[in-house]
Amino acid sequence: MADLALPETPAKTQTWRQGDVIFRWLSRGCAFVVPALIGGIFLALLIYSLPAIKKFGVGFLVSPEWNPVTQEFGAASSIFGTVVSTLIAMLLAVPLSLAIAFFLVELAPPAVSRVVGTLIELLAAIPSIIFGMWGLFVFAPFLQAHVQPWLASTLGFLPLFQGPPMGIGIMSAGIILAFMILPFICAIARDVFLLVPRTIRESAFGMGATTWEVMYKVMIPYGLVGLIGAVFLGLGRALGETMAITFVIGNSHRISASLFAAGNSIASTLANEFAEATEPMYVSSLIALGLVLFLITYLVQILAQVLLRRLYRSWSAGL
């Protein structure tokens, strides 16, 4: 055994070991920065929002009142706007991006697939303020002149499409959000579809499945875990989006059944009102709104993790 021992170079091994130890501690320290940051932000939000929490209690979450003059604050209208605009965005963006991704992977000629794929990635690189300006100056007037009057005349019996068409409002905010999260969902969905083995796809086609059946019954179930991850990534981004929403949502503290009406989101309220809020209760209520957004986003991520883990167990064929 002794013959087989490696020639010893004690000094060098020593420095290597030392390097390892330093590296281990360094990477450990870096990893701890993240939980420390999250914990710190959460604590700061909690401490600064305490006055508002003490004064309004749970009522803060359900009260639609937002009156800086009487110092009465409630988060309901902001939560409502955040949830509804995100919902519209998800309803539009998820099917659209799955369809685009499927087209790029399965149907498009390689040259088209490459060009369109790159363009979609470029869409993700457009700063959100550009979306906001485009939304305000181009898209909202288009909605006002062409889309909303048509919706009002055909589906106007629904409370969703009543009221004067202004262009700006919850509806345009939701649609702009859909444009913004589409590239994120689409890019991941494309990668997920690409990972479905050719043999599986081709055997489905070989059994006489239509293109629709291949997408619906083979590609989507196979990549479901990855697709859900993509959807939640888009959802997280939609919940916190600020600038673009502020431009087009109409910034009105009101809960309305109509999608044409102006509303607000938590992020847009913060962006609008923080700079000039001087009274302590006003500031505290705004920070409490921030805390609510923090918790919503956090819950969504936890939900995503739980869902993914469950699916991962039950779909052994999954990615």
Partner 1 sequence: MDQGDSQHMKKLIWLAMITVVTLALAAGAQAQSLTLNGAGASFPYPLYSQWAHKYHELTGAKINYQSIGSGGGIAQIKAKTVDFGASDEPLKVEDLDQAGLVQFPMVVGGVVPVVNVAGIAAGQIKFTGDLLAQIFMGKIAKWNDPAIKNLNPGLNLPDLNITIVHRADGSGTTWLFTHYLGLSSPEWQAKVGVGKSVKWPAPNSVGGKGNEGVASYVKKVAGAVGYVEYAYALQNQMSFAVLKNRAGNFVTPSIESFQAACANADWQNAPGYYIVLNDQPGDQSWPITGATYILVHKQQADAAKAKGVMKFFDWCYKHGAEMAQKLDYVPLPAKVVELVQATWAKEIKADGQPVWP
Q: Which residues would be at the binding site for partner 1 (CB under 8 A)?
A: 65-70, 136-137, 140-141, 144, 163-164, 166-169, 246-247, 250-254, 262, 264, 268, 271-273, 275-278
- Choose between 95 and 159: whose C-beta lies nearer to partner 1: 159
| DSSP summary character for residue 67 | E
- Residue 164, judged by CB atoms within 10 A of its CB (0-12, 13-18, 19+), counts as exposed
| Nearest distance in Å: CB 157, partner 1 | 19
**How far is the C-alpha of 168 from the C-alpha of 14, rounded, in Å?**
67
| Nearest distance in Å: CB 276, partner 1 | 3
| DSSP summary character for residue 66 | E
| Nearest distance in Å: CB 266, partner 1 | 14
- Choose between 166 and 307: whose C-beta lies nearer to partner 1: 166
- Residue 214, judged by CB atoms within 10 A of its CB (0-12, 13-18, 19+), counts as buried
Q: Which residues contact 312 (CB under 8 A, 6 or more apart)?
A: 225, 318
- Choose between 32 and 137: whose C-beta lies nearer to partner 1: 137
- Choose between 97 and 258: whose C-beta lies nearer to partner 1: 258
- Choose between 67 and 118: whose C-beta lies nearer to partner 1: 67
Tokens 């939900």 locate to: 303
CA distances from residue 312 to 35, 53, 94, 216, 235 in whole angstroms, order as listed: 26, 39, 21, 19, 20
- Choose between 277 and 319: whose C-beta lies nearer to partner 1: 277
**How far is the C-alpha of 277 from the C-alpha of 29, rounded, in Å?**
38
Among 36, 87, 39, 81, which residue's Cα sits nearest to residue 289?
81
| Nearest distance in Å: CB 194, partner 1 | 42
| Nearest distance in Å: CB 133, partner 1 | 10
Distance of CA 165 to the CA centre of its chain: 27
| Nearest distance in Å: CB 127, partner 1 | 17
- Choose between 108 and 255: whose C-beta lies nearer to partner 1: 255
| Nearest distance in Å: CB 51, partner 1 | 17
Dihedral of the alpha carbons of 178, 181, 184, 187, in degrees to the nearest 10: 10
- Choose between 168 and 178: whose C-beta lies nearer to partner 1: 168
| Nearest distance in Å: CB 71, partner 1 | 10
| Nearest distance in Å: CB 263, partner 1 | 10
**How far is the C-alpha of 142 from the C-alpha of 247, rounded, in Å?**
15
Q: Is the dihedral of CA 310, 315, 318, 319 positive or negative?
A: positive
Task: Give the chain's radius of gyration (CA, Å).
Answer: 25
- Choose between 159 and 164: whose C-beta lies nearer to partner 1: 164
Q: Is the dihedral of CA 131, 136, 140, 141 positive or negative?
A: negative
